[in-house]
Amino acid sequence: MTNYPVGDFLIRVKNAAMAKNKEVSFWGIKRVISVAEAMKKLGYFDGVKTEKQKLTVSLSFKSKKPLLMDIKLISKPGLRVYMSTSEIEKKKGPSVYLVSTPKGVISSRQAVKERMGGEVIAEVW
């Protein structure tokens, strides 16, 4: 068990994308599953399966290259980062934040649309 399972999961996904692996397995914790579902909605994962405390995600590829370019962890166990809607709106560029809100983990685009702020988990390219 790690101190920050969401961060560990995201780094494993990043490493798998860099190594061009098609699948990543991780233990199924509620918050990790919600992050995986949010990334599936963004199109970075083809599938998310949970079976008996085990989470398996399959990465999306386009012309033999993974769609996931990079992941940067924003919130860490020692320093949680929270942003309001106006701060999230100021972010421009191709990257997307994963934001933990009272409605669950959603993308920064959806958070702006629903006018919700929260803890910024990671930035995904």
Amino acid occupying residue 67: L
The CA-atom distances, in angstroms, between 123 and each of 1, 50, 79, 106 are: 24, 24, 15, 12
Model confidence at 1: pLDDT above 70: no
User: What is the CATH architecture assignment of 71-124?
Assistant: 2-Layer Sandwich (3.30)
- Domain boundaries along the sequence of the chain: 5-66, 71-124
φ, ψ at 113 (rounded to 5°): -60, -40
Could you give the CA distance from residue 55 to residue 17 in angstroms, rounded to a whole number? Answer: 17
pLDDT of residue 92: 87
Q: What is the token pair recorded at 101? A: 């809100």
Convert the pLDDT of each residue in 70-101 to its tens digit. Answer: 999 999 999 999 999 999 999 988 999 999 99
Min mean pLDDT across 1-10, 20-29, 59-68, 99-108 is at: 1-10
Type and span of the H or E element at 48:
strand 45-51
Residue 45: its H or E element: strand 45-51
26-77 pLDDT, tens digit per residue, is 999 999 999 999 999 999 999 999 999 999 999 999 999 999 999 999 999 9
- Give the model's pLDDT for residue 2: 77
Helix 5-18 to helix 30-42 angle, to the nearest 10 degrees? 40
CA dihedral 11, 2, 80, 42 (to 10 degrees): 40
User: What is the fold of 5-66?
Assistant: Ribosomal Protein S8; Chain: A, domain 1 (3.30.1370)
